[in-house]
Homo-oligomer: A and B are copies of this chain.
Amino acid sequence: MSEVHAARRSRLRDRRTTAGGGAVLVSRPANVRYLTGCSLPGAVLLLGADGRDTLLRPPGPAAGDHADPSGAADGLYHVTLPGDGVDAAVAAAGLAASRGAAALAVEEHDLSVARHRALASAAPGLRLADLGRAVEQQRLVKDEEELAALRTAAEITDHALGELLESILVGRTERHLALELERRLMDHGADGPAFPTSVATGRNSGLAGHRPTDRRVEEGDFLTVRMGARYHGYRCRIGRTFVIGPAPADWQVELYELVFAAQRAGREALAPGAEYRGVDRAARQPLEAAGYGELLEAATGHGVGLEIGEDPRLSPAAMGKLDACVPVTVGPGVHLPGRGGVRIDDTLVVRPQADGGPELLTITTKELLAL
């Protein structure tokens, strides 16, 4: 992996050099991990004005899933700080100044006002600038290593969910089902869940951010599961809704078919060059037309990668267009207060039609299963 990280750093450097040069400090954890493989909390990356890249980290265990402990093969200098309150970002500013940098671009959306001030005091000669979301921009389009990790995450997720569907669900609580799903994710090789697993039954079903309760699954319930594996740091999401019992009620079939049609429309709108808000509109319009506009969330999908809700955001006000190799979720849902509802989420990778169109990573069936 170390060559991959070195290549990513050199792409960032190339973009910066054209934009003005100087040293660059990356402090946002997901960005540090993307550029170095190090997932240790508090670690920062300094791209020196002198061409040297340095990872500054607090003392502690080895630096993450993909860390290269030698620090030689990956062209990255490793500095372990003495701990006890030394802020790696402040130390990095001092290091940049001592190596002759005149300017330092920092992530102003990540550094707190207090850290930024400490950094300015530690290196008074250094002119501080804003790097903005340059690394997040670079993270939008995924490389083959990243897509491979996402595919594995989705495979693990499908396996874990599939096993659950083979077991008896009636009488079990939302909390126990969620725990069981997370255990199965780990059994299949996940680093952990991509986000807290949500299991929602009966009148809770279809709620976007439902936290599992002690409610037990009953005959006639809608059961909504939203879950995903984290694998080598990469996170995916699946959302499925089932019916418990021999046959769904008419209102359940109708609502399911509506949400399914909306989700399919969203998936089919994914293409290189498609506007973010166009994809959102495709998934949102059928639900609005059915009178559920007021019940919808602000976004119907978002990018996934090292974070579960990263750029782009698929929402009515989002500006921008999709590229190939951008993985996103498409997951509209409707929750009818007091009754329950339906959510269907997939993780897909945007691909041109010539390559077969969007690549569906989460392949568990979206037929309405009666369990």
**Interfacial residues, chain A to chain B (CB-CB below 8 A):** 59-61, 82-85, 106, 108-117, 130, 175-176, 179, 182-183, 186, 192, 196, 207-211, 297-299, 313, 315-317
Contact = CB atoms under 8 A, between A and B. Distances in A.
A209 B196 CA distance: 22
Ranked nearest first, the 10 interchain pairs of A and B with the lowest CB-CB distance are A83-B298, A108-B113, A84-B298, A109-B114, A61-B209, A108-B114, A113-B116, A60-B209, A84-B315, A84-B317
Given A112-B108, A112-B109, A113-B116, A179 B183 contact: yes
Contacts of A299: 83-84
18 contacts: A61-B207, A61-B210, A61-B211, A83-B297, A84-B298, A84-B299, A84-B316, A85-B315, A85-B317, A108-B112, A108-B113, A108-B117, A110-B112, A111-B112, A111-B113, A175-B186, A179-B182, A179-B186
Contacts of A175: 186
Contacts of A115: 109
Contacts of A113: 106, 108-109, 111-113, 116, 130
A313 B192 CA distance: 29
B109 A61 contact: no
Contacts of A211: 61
Contacts of A315: 84-85
A20 to B, nearest CB: 19
A209 B40 CA distance: 10
Contacts of A108: 112-114, 117
A83 B117 CA distance: 31
A298 B59 CA distance: 8
Contacts of A59: 297-298
Nearest to A204: B61
Given A186-B175, A298-B83, A208 B61 contact: yes
